[in-house]
Structure 1
């Protein structure tokens, strides 16, 4: 298997289901606890959605967090064992579906909000998913993406798109075989959305309260045909 590929991303996450589930549910990921979890919940609730699809839902924490606020909640993930963990605690509907399957139309309804919370890790699968956004969003729906901030996550490597080696730094020794991830510059995040007919209407950069540096970046985008609003 190519160590820098979408297939390797899924393979690596499949090996760390129980470790990840424990880390999330025990609150062991500091930046999530202190800033990024609440940031993505706030971004979704700002849209006052009745229906939400969480793409790359993992063990389902975001669906559970949104369950008091939305009528229809669907979490999807390509890793069956993560979906099993999500179903065990409930809070919404959960399905196994790869990004490629979603792009091919496996989701049979549309949503007010589609949210991807640190789940757009690969390359081709992510590009296919973004291109298919109109298939699972209502005409006035919003795509919300939280991801690593390109200006903070690039490290000392050249600031250009490309695969990067993964790391479980900061996690305990039970985590194995870290997943690679595909780095995109800020410009090319915008380009990925724009070329697929999406217009960014809002950007936020949640700050780590300790370092006062961006812990992530959140894009909110709508169909370019349906909005003339500028980013704020």
Structure 2
């Protein structure tokens, strides 16, 4: 399992992903996580946002409707084409390794990664680059699977895990692996990458009352 296999899987599954997102076919997103990430980003009152791993562009459209300028980037060309087809926004095909301050020619009030940080070292390197993309006082918002509930019966320690499309339908294939990080590791990683203040939100599943995701709001250190 490695970062390259994640990108391979998303390229294979871009078309069914576009369909299921636009049909509202993922219950957890409709019930909790979509609203949670929009609320977290809007709570920062940003003028402009970099949407990293924007997919087919739903979050960029939601933020644009609230008067926020968004630049969306994704490594999968089919997803970027879909985003451009649904919005007049600024969407660019960029691998995470290609995201630098020089990529955009401007700094952002906020960056957001909504369930788009699945990898290992690629994610670590990206997060180290993000502070240079932000204005002074800017923030990064990350929503990811909650480590406690996503851990299941497996050991609670960092490492690669096999992915699954269970519940998504037969149109999906070759599930991407993902790199599991504990809560402590997420917090330490963000601090190590230049974010001086990190807060955590834990949106709850309305049925189980267990955390369905973790949202980290990480503010750039004023010394960076």
Query: TM (normalized to structure 1)?
Result: 0.93
Q: Output the aligned Cα RMSD.
A: 1.4
Aligned to 1:45: 42
- Counterpart-to-counterpart distance in 2, 1:212 and 1:7: 35
Cross-structure match for 1:225: 222
Offset of residue 72 of structure 1:
2.0
C-alpha contact 1:51 1:70 (8 A) present in aligned 2: no
Distance 2:116 2:2 in 1: 15
Question: Residues 161 and 34 from structure 1, CA distance in 2 versus in 1: closer, same or farther, beyond 3 angstroms?
Answer: same
Instruction: Please say if residues 24 and 30 of structure 2, whose CA atoms lie closer than 8 Å, have aligned partners that are also in contact.
Output: yes
Which of these residues, 66, 84, 87, is aligned with residue 90 of structure 1?
A: 87
Structure-2 change in CA distance of 1:27 and 1:80 (3 Å): same
Q: Secondary structure at the match of 2:9?
A: helix
Q: Structure 1 stretch 192-201 or stretch 150-159: which is displaced more?
A: 192-201
Q: Aligned ranges for residues 108-147 of structure 1 at < 5 Å?
A: 108-147=105-144
For residues 172 and 100 of structure 2, the distance between their equivalents in structure 1, rounded to whole angstroms, comes to 30
In the alignment, structure 2 segments of 5+ residues that lack a partner are none
CA distance in structure 1 between the aligned counterparts of 2:223 and 2:101, rounded to whole angstroms:
23
SS in structure 2 of the partner of residue 58 of structure 1: coil
Please say if residues 196 and 221 of structure 2, whose CA atoms lie closer than 8 Å, have aligned partners that are also in contact.
Answer: yes
CA distance in 2: counterparts of 1:104 and 1:78, whole angstroms: 17
Q: Determine the structure 1 residue equivalent to 2:177.
A: 180
2-structure distance, mates of 1:153, 1:200 = 25
Q: Which residue of 2 aligns with 1:194?
A: 191
Equivalences, count: 224
Task: Tell me how far apart the structure 1 counterparts of residues 18 and 119 of structure 2 sit (CA, whole Å).
Answer: 21
> Which residue number in structure 1 is paired with residue 206 of structure 2?
209
Q: Which runs of 5+ in 1 are unaligned?
A: 228-232
Q: C-alpha distance in 1, partners of 2:126/2:135?
A: 15
Aligned to 2:19: 22
Matched, 1:165 2:162: yes
Partner of residue 11, structure 1: 8
Q: Deviations over 1:17-52 (max 9, x none)?
A: 110001100000000000000000000000111101
Deviation larger for 71-80 or 141-150? 71-80
Q: TM-score, normalised by structure 2?
A: 0.96
